[in-house]
């Protein structure tokens, strides 16, 4: 693949119509200082700075944010609670230009909230407020109806972002596969291992190395072991492609057209890996819509992930930043 080809694919991802279905959540950050240990237990006491408080879209909504940053049109399907966190999450998405008509309110569930308390640039603790139970039949049926409508109205890709909070526990993943694959619409997924079987027949699945080991039920200490387990997994689930991200060791792509391709990590200074998987997943999915082959899509995902780890905090990548990464590092894939 040439540098010119990769650049052309980036230009073609703008304006693509995508649907993200999955576990939405709000990331909250509370900042303060630590100057003493609690007399009640051996834990630090954080004095909160009330002027330093932030929140951002997380989970499936971070995937949506990444897609928007790359220039795609994005709609979201998910569930929030009837609470201030759900209102805040919807407001964030509205500001990003994400279509939130498919963000349903279930008063029986809380909006998933991940609160990180940070002192002196270090995370002291994370507090999770969430429900991991399957969705109600009524909510799942409504999401399926919205999925069918989105596909009928021209969605070009469906991305399942699974954090094991309920959306992928039922039939929705298979409903997406049944609806989209006969129409030539790619269905990509970033699932948790317990829900992998529900992705049978998907276009592409991305896992990190630890998730791949959990799915395989054993350690995968080298490329040979990963290749063997990955191909077995891909065959069992009838996937067109499986992409395993491996941090500093790059990525491994397993697909029909490539069989197995090791993609080396891009040599960049790493500041923060938070959210890099979402960035790679979003980029891979958009590249497939733009007409990329699996190796091309994985290469672009690799560049996007490298661009985002150079930033601090959960971040996104723009087309301009992705093009700059291609110009800087794509000599190894041809001119």
Catalytic residue list: 278
Q: Are 115 and 124 in contact (CB under 8 A)?
A: no
260 bridge partner residues: 254
Please, is 145 exposed, middle or buried when counting C-beta atoms within 10 Å of its C-beta (0-12, 13-18, 19+)? exposed
Any residues with CB less than 8 A from the CB of 300 and at least 6 apart, and which? 6, 9, 10, 283, 284, 287, 292, 322, 326
Query: If DSSP states are collapsed to H, E and C, what string results for 180-223?
Result: HHHHCCCEEEECCHHHHHHHCCCCEEEEEHHHHHHHHCCCCCCH
Alpha helix ranges (H) inside the chain: 3-12, 60-69, 84-96, 137-152, 172-180, 209-216, 223-237, 276-289, 294-308, 319-329
Three-state secondary-structure class, residue 292: coil
Distance CA 30, CA 194 (A): 31
Task: Give the Cβ contact number of residue 136 at 10 Å.
Answer: 15
The answer to whether the CB of 295 falls within 8 A of the CB of 308 is: no
CB 293 within 8 A of CB 186: no
**Torsion over CA: 213, 214, 215, 218 (sign):** positive
Length of the chain: 335
Helices 137-152, 172-180: inter-axial angle, 10-degree rounding: 20
């Amino acid at each position: 693949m040439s540098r010119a080809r990769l650049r052309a694919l980036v230009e073609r991802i703008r304006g693509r119509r995508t649907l993200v279905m999955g576990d939405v959540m709000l990331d909250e950050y509370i900042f303060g200082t630590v100057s003493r240990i609690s007399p009640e237990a051996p834990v630090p006491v954080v004095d909160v700075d009330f002027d330093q408080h932030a929140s951002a879209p997380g989970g499936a909504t971070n995937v949506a944010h990444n897609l928007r940053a790359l220039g795609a049109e994005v709609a979201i399907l998910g569930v929030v609670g009837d609470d201030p966190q759900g209102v805040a999450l919807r407001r964030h998405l509205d500001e990003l230009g994400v279509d939130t008509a498919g963000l349903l309110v279930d008063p029986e569930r809380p909006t998933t909230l991940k609160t990180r308390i940070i002192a002196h640039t270090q995370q002291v603790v994370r507090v999770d407020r969430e429900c991991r139970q399957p969705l109600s039949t009524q909510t799942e049926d409504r999401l399926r109806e919205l999925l069918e409508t989105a596909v009928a109205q021209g969605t070009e890709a469906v991305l399942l972002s699974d954090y094991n909070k309920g959306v992928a526990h039922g039939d929705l993943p298979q409903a997406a596969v049944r609806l989209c694959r006969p129409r030539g619409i790619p269905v990509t997924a970033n699932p948790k291992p317990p829900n992998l079987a529900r992705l049978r027949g998907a276009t592409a699945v991305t896992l990190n190395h630890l998730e791949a080991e959990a799915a395989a039920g054993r350690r995968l200490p080298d490329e040979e072991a990963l290749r063997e387990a990955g191909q077995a997994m891909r065959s069992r689930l009838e996937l067109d492609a499986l992409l395993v991200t491996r941090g500093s060791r790059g990525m491994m792509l397993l697909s029909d057209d490539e069989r197995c391709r090791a993609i080396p990590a891009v040599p960049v200074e790493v500041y923060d890996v938070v959210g890099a998987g979402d960035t790679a997943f979003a980029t891979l999915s958009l590249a497939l819509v733009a007409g990329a082959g699996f190796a091309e899509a994985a290469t672009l995902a690799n560049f996007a992930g490298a661009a985002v780890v150079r930033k601090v905090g959960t971040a996104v990548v723009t087309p301009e930043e992705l093009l700059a990464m291609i110009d800087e590092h794509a000599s190894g894939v041809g001119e």
